[in-house]
Homo-oligomer: A and B are copies of this chain.
């Protein structure tokens, strides 16, 4: 009985130690939007197309030249960057600091789960969209390519704890980091600006599973 328990603890510690060895680069997401083609055309004009200005680390995604204004009952934020390509649902990802400025109360959600989330008015140079739902605070998450996940036994949907910011007076363990595994992904912990500032970290700093 005691030996069974000792064996289990030893196995668990071994997994933890293996996982803890892998440095995971942090990517800090500023507020941004994903738009449907329909909404893009309303906001920027029927003949407009998103202009690529910078690839982002996750393969296939890129920052566009286009930005919109997002307006809520209390205030508004200009220059919210479009991340392309088009999506099936328009989604505005804010930090709660941003949500407080707008006066909206978005839920913490995984990307794509916009049902029943908050609304806002979207304003572009060619028109406006009254968005009923789509405003979320992104659940923090770790992108893994399948090989990277398999190497340390991580499964998609698993909740991980990651430590970062050590040595800067704001060492933080972020729990509830959801693992997302796809061959379109590359190893990265995504935090929003509130989370990054709370831990005193920036894009390219390293986090460790604990």
Question: When the two chains form the complex, which single residue of B96, B166, B172 contacts A174, counting CB atoms closer than 8 Å?
Answer: B172
Interface footprint category on A: 20 to 34
The distance from the CB of A58 to the nearest CB of chain B, in whole angstroms, is: 21
User: Please, which residues of chain B bring their CB within 8 A of the CB of A175?
Assistant: 163, 166, 170-173
Q: How far, in angstroms, from A97 to B140 measured CA to CA in the complex?
A: 18
CB contacts (< 8 Å) of A100 on chain B: these are: 193, 197
A200 interfacial by beta-carbon distance below 8 Å:
yes
Residues of chain B within 8 A of A148, CB atoms compared: none
Residues of B within 8 A of A195 (CB): 198
**Is the beta-carbon distance between B97 and A193 smaller than 8 angstroms?**
yes
Q: Which of A160-210 contact B (CB under 8 A)?
A: 161, 163, 166, 168-176, 193-195, 197-200
Complex: A97 Cα to B96 Cα, angstroms: 11
Binary contact readout A25-69 vs B (1 if CB under 8 angstroms, 0 otherwise): 000000000000000000000000000000000000000000000
Provide the main secondary structure of the chain A interface: mixed
A172 CB to nearest B CB, Å: 6
Q: Give the chain B neighbours of A172 by CB distance below 8 A.
A: 172-175, 198
Residues of the B chain whose Cβ atoms lie less than 8 Å from the Cβ of A97: 95, 97, 193-194, 197
**Interface presence of A139 (CB below 8 A):** yes
One of B139, B169, B197, B199 near A95 (C-beta < 8 A): B197
- Compute how far the CA of A169 lies from the CA of B199 in the bound complex, rounded to whole angstroms: 17
Closest CB pairs A-B (n = 7): A96-B197, A198-B198, A173-B173, A171-B175, A108-B169, A194-B197, A195-B198
Apart from A139-B169, A170-B176, list 12 A-B contacts with CB within 8 A: A95-B197, A96-B200, A97-B194, A108-B200, A140-B170, A172-B173, A174-B198, A194-B197, A194-B198, A195-B198, A198-B198, A198-B199
Q: List 25 A-B contacts (CB under 8 A).
A: A95-B197, A96-B200, A97-B97, A97-B193, A97-B194, A100-B193, A108-B200, A139-B169, A140-B170, A163-B175, A170-B174, A170-B176, A171-B176, A172-B172, A172-B173, A172-B198, A173-B175, A174-B198, A193-B194, A194-B194, A194-B197, A194-B198, A197-B198, A198-B198, A198-B199
